[in-house]
């Protein structure tokens, strides 16, 4: 079973993907003002590679941005690739 955990303070945050309660990867972000945040790192832990968890983490970040009504600056190369490869996701990129 897959679940997510979010940790955030006023400036930084991260989403952790859990497989059966065990951390399997994380995506970190930094707030850049009130209307956008930067995804700076996405990582799937070695044992959990090939399961699509990186994309699930990026999608969780996009879902969070939509809920907050903010945009994303994808500095993480993986997040940038995911967001630019789909027009419906690229509209969430802060330009």
Kindly report, residue by residue over 71-80, the tens digit of the pLDDT: 999 999 999 9
12-19 and 71-74 beta bridge pairing: unpaired
pLDDT along the chain (95 residues), means of 10: 96 98 98 97 97 98 98 98 94 93
Has residue 28 been placed in a domain?
Answer: yes
Kindly report, residue by residue over 49-62, the tens digit of the pLDDT: 999 999 999 999 99
What tokens appear for 46 in the block?
């070695």
Has residue 18 been placed in a domain?
Answer: yes
Has residue 29 been placed in a domain?
Answer: yes
Has residue 19 been placed in a domain?
Answer: yes
Q: How far is CA 20 from the centre of its chain?
A: 20
Identify the H or E element spanning 28: strand 22-31
CATH number at 69 reads 3.40.630.30
pLDDT, position 61: 98
Has residue 95 been placed in a domain?
Answer: no
Q: Which domain holds residue 78?
A: 2-90
| Model confidence pTM above 0.75 | yes
What is the number of structural domains in the chain?
1
């Amino acid at each position: 079973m897959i679940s997510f955990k979010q940790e955030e303070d006023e400036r930084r945050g991260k989403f952790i993907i859990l497989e059966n309660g065990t951390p399997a990867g994380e995506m970190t972000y930094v707030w850049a003002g009130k209307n956008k945040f930067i995804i700076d790192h996405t990582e799937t832990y070695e044992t959990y590679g090939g399961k699509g968890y990186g994309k699930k983490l990026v999608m969780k970040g996009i879902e969070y941005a939509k809920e907050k009504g903010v945009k994303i600056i994808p500095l993480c190369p993986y997040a940038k690739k995911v967001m630019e490869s789909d027009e419906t996701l690229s509209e969430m990129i802060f330009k």
